[in-house]
Amino acid sequence: MSDRRGLHDLLAASAARTPHAPAVVGPTGSMSYRELDERADALAGLLSGQGIGKGDRVLIWSPKSANAIAAMQAVLRLGAIYVPVDPLTPPERFAAIARESGALALCAPGDLSARIPSPLRDRLACVDLDAAPASDAVPRTPVNTSVEPDDLAYILYTSGSTGTPKGVCISHRNALSFIDWAVAEFAPGPQDRFANHSAFSFDLSVLDLYAAFAVGAAVCPIPTEFAYAPERLVEFLHRERISVWYSVPSVLILMLRDGGLLDRPAPETLRALLFAGEPFPIGYVRTVATWCDARLLNLYGPTETNVCTFHEVRPADLARDLPVPIGRPCSGDRAWARRPDGSEAGPGEEGELVVSGPTVFAGYWGRQPQEGPYATGDRVKVRPDGSFDYLGRRDDMVKIRGHRIELGDVLAALYSHPGVAEAAVVAVGEGLDRSLAAFVIRDEGSSFGNVALRRHLADRLAPHMIPGDIRFVDQLPLNERGKVDLAALPTPLHVAQKVRG
Amino acid sequence: MTTQTREDISAELLTFIRESFLAGDPEGELEVDTPLLELGILNSLNTALLIAHIGERFGVQVPLNDVTAATFKSVRPLSEMVHEGLSRT
């Protein structure tokens, strides 16, 4: 069908069909489809009153809440573009994103907007999500601006290699192509309950929210602080009778290692476990496959391509001693492995994964539009059946528990400290124990310590980007290629700790 | 068993965090109000190690409802929680 839908039409259509069905459920606040629909119109009215219209960028800086979800819908209904920012983002990084995106408005709870430096706050039209209007306080006028498929829906900021966050621009067509595929593949229905583990600033949350809205299902946002408490995640899975769970593998590993996931039988409601963002070690996949009967699906795709390949775990995969393959193209995309000479790699060969198709992003905000296929930077091996195994990165981007981090971003923050003479950052450890270690040579006469340097970093980096282990050294161990010599580094602190313990 | 004051518990936790996560903190910068989550001193891995240490050292099992950003914000609310845990036993 010729696609005139906007991403916001998914919720609007379900609200018209099943107004009383639960749309958002759980400890962060619950709303029926009608309530969410009305709240979205009310917030759209407020934003429109502030002069926000088609193509404008609106920051959403909020912990998970039904109001924050309504705000995203409100922005889309105006034909505007939302920019979700993690609530843990420090004010300076938030300001950089606000500047980069040229945002005109901000939706945030009062305590967060109070943290914004005043020149910036004065420039932004602010909508307080705590004081969101009762539906009758603002004249309720349905808002639904029509959009073109290539109009942008949202911008997700990711770590940039030079220390400036990079805005990945996603159009309505990009997001809808991915959601259409997900709905066709998992065939969710109104009775489904989607857990939403990932923050709204990460692309995993797009599936949780919009696949649910597309079919009139409920989405159950998991409060951010549960990330520190695997037992609470397990309890949430049972109490909310989750049927579709989507997270990075690290979270599932944490739940089964420290959260007692295996102590209770899987909830009968659970029918699909989706994971993405990093390789899932096969030993853990075997454990999960024994524990539950749910479909297990490995989804793959950088933020720039949404989900562009996937693989459903089969018994044959469990017999291999390799991570689950990333599989074959989906969402209407084409993906192939490109050899260094530009030719397409065949079965048994390796190359960089390249993707073209409807889910490939529009470009980075403020830069040239993306044209042609997108080179992911991920190295893959072509399997005999044409699907792909993931091998690793070809650059300095690392993944820590599914968070993507450019080491250059962390280095730039370290070097912005006036007392840092030289610094190196590496990712150490595997799987759940993977973390960043920084080695720093201080200027002569500088006497700042670990905590002081962390304060400097915390003003500039999201918490997950701050190295877990920071060491002051007299010289950096380099190998003959001038790269940090991993073998010559001191033992990471947490490893030493484990050995001692 | 000897009673442990909040100060004793704080000192004990500060020492553990310095040695385990701050390479000893020779500059002595860690204080009871230093924000642990915000500065990346506690990530999910380190939090698990800290909870295990609290269990071993004080015999206090951290209650599920206390595993929150508020409790783990800094050493002060952490020692408060341990102190309460000890007074319950």
- Pairwise pLDDT comparison (A288 vs A142), residue with the higher score: A288
Confidence of residue B67 (pLDDT cuts 50, 70, 90): confident
Q: What percent of chain A has pLDDT over 70?
A: 93
Question: Quick one: closest CA in B to A497, which residue?
Answer: B20
* pLDDT attached to residue A481: 65
Tokens in use for A300?
């793959």
The answer to whether A435 and A467 are in contact (CB under 8 A) is yes
Query: What are the structural domains of chain B?
Result: 6-88 (1.10.1200.10)
d(CA A122, CA A116): 10
Asked whether the predicted pLDDT for residue A171 surpasses 90, the reply is yes
Position A118 scores a pLDDT of 84
Look at A421 and A182; give whichever has higher pLDDT.
Answer: A182
Contact predicate A106/A80, CB 8 Å: no
Q: Residue A500 pLDDT > 60, yes or no?
A: no
Residue A364 lies in a domain: no
DSSP letter for A431, please.
G
Q: Using the predicted structure, report yes or no on whether residue A477 has a pLDDT greater than 90.
A: no
If you average pLDDT over residues A185-199, what whole number do you get? 96
Amino acid (1-letter code) at residue A232: R
pLDDT at A45 over 60: yes
* Average pLDDT value for chain A: 91
Q: Look at A85 and A402; give whichever has higher pLDDT.
A: A85
pLDDT digits (tens, 9 = 90+) for A291-343: 999 999 999 999 999 999 999 999 999 999 889 999 999 999 999 999 999 99
pLDDT band at A501 (very low <50, low <70, confident <90, very high): very low
Taking the CA of residue A119 and the nearest CA in chain B, the distance in Å comes to 24
CA angle A414, A416, A417 (to 5 degrees): 75
User: What is the ipTM for the molecules in this complex?
Assistant: 0.91
List pLDDT tens digits, range A4-25.
Answer: 789 999 999 999 999 999 999 9
**CA-based nearest distance A450→chain B, Å:** 6
CB contact under 8 A, A229 and B37: no
Does residue A404 lie within any of the structural domains? Answer: yes
Could A463 and B37 be called an inter-chain contact, meaning their C-beta atoms sit closer than 8 Å? yes
pLDDT of A121 strictly over 50 = yes
- CATH, residue A462: 3.30.300.30
Which residues on A lie below 8 Å from B28 (Cβ)? Answer: 449
Tokens of A178: 């991915």
**What is the DSSP annotation of B26-63?**
TT----TTS-TTTTTSS-HHHHHHHHHHHHHHH--PPP
* Position A497 pLDDT exceeds 50: no
Q: Do B67 and A229 touch (CB under 8 A)?
A: yes
Residue A413 in any domain: the answer is yes
Contact call for B38 and A463, based on CB within 8 A = yes
DSSP state letter for A303: G
Q: Count Cβ atoms below 10 Å from residue B87 Cβ, excluding itself.
A: 9
Q: What is the mean pLDDT of residues A122-132?
A: 87
In sequence order, what are the residues at sequence separation of 6 or more whose Cβ sits closer than 8 angstroms to the Cβ of residue A425? A407, A410, A411, A414, A436, A437, A438, A439, A467
Residue A484 forms part of a structural domain = yes
Residue A429 maps to a domain: yes
Q: Given this model, what pLDDT does residue A482 score?
A: 63
Does the residue A402 lie in any domain? yes
Find residues 52-111 of chain A whose CB sits inside 8 Å of chain B.
Answer: 88, 90
A41-50, A131-140, A268-277, A483-492: lowest mean pLDDT where? Answer: A131-140
**pLDDT for A29-39, tens place per residue?**
999 999 999 99
Percentages helix, strand, coil for chain B, rounded to the nearest 5? 55, 0, 45
- Token output for A113: 């907007």
B61 close contact with A: CB closer than 8 A: no
CB-nearest partner of B46 from A254, A468, A501: A468
Residues of B in contact with A498 (CB under 8 A): 49
Q: What is the pLDDT of residues A369-418, one digit of tens each?
A: 999 999 999 999 999 999 999 998 888 888 888 888 999 999 999 999 99
What are the CA-CA distances from residue A357 to residues A21, A67, A147, A189 (Å)?
34, 33, 20, 27
Instruction: Tell me the mean pLDDT in the region A457-485.
Output: 84
| Largest separation between any pair of C-alpha atoms in chain B | 36
Burial A372-406 (b: 16+ CB within 10 A, else e): ebbebebbbbbbeeebbbbbeeeebbbbbbbbbbb
Asked if B40 has any chain A CB less than 8 Å from its own CB, the reply is yes
* Chain B positions in Cβ-Cβ contact with residue A227 (cut-off 8 Å): 44
Residue of B nearest to A463 (CA): B40
Residues facing A399 on adjacent strands: A404
Q: Is the pLDDT score of A138 beyond 70? A: no
Is A469 domain-assigned?
A: yes
The number of residues in chain B equals 89
pLDDT top residue among A138 and A218: A218
Domain count of chain A? 1
Query: What residues make up the domain containing A443?
Result: 397-500
Which H/E stretch holds residue A462?
A: none
Least confident stretch, A179-183, A185-189, A490-494: A490-494
Entry pTM: 0.87
Query: What is the distance in angstroms between the CA of the first residue and the CA of the last residue of chain B?
Result: 11
Chain B residues in contact with A494 (beta carbon < 8 A): 20-21, 45-46, 49
Q: Is residue A67 part of a domain?
A: no
pLDDT category of residue A1 using cuts at 50, 70 and 90: very low
Does residue B6 surpass a pLDDT of 60?
yes
Q: Residue A301's closest CA among A281, A275, A277?
A: A277
pLDDT at A428 over 50: yes
Q: Which helix (H) or strand (E) holds A401?
A: none
* Range scoring the smallest mean pLDDT among A27-36, A280-289, A415-424, A471-480: A471-480
Could you tell me the maximum CA-CA distance found in chain A, to the nearest angstrom? Answer: 69
Q: What pLDDT score was predicted for residue B2?
A: 56
Could you tell me the CA-to-CA distances from A215 to A25, A175, A200, A289 in Å, in that order?
16, 15, 20, 27
Please tell me the predicted confidence (pLDDT) of residue A144: 86
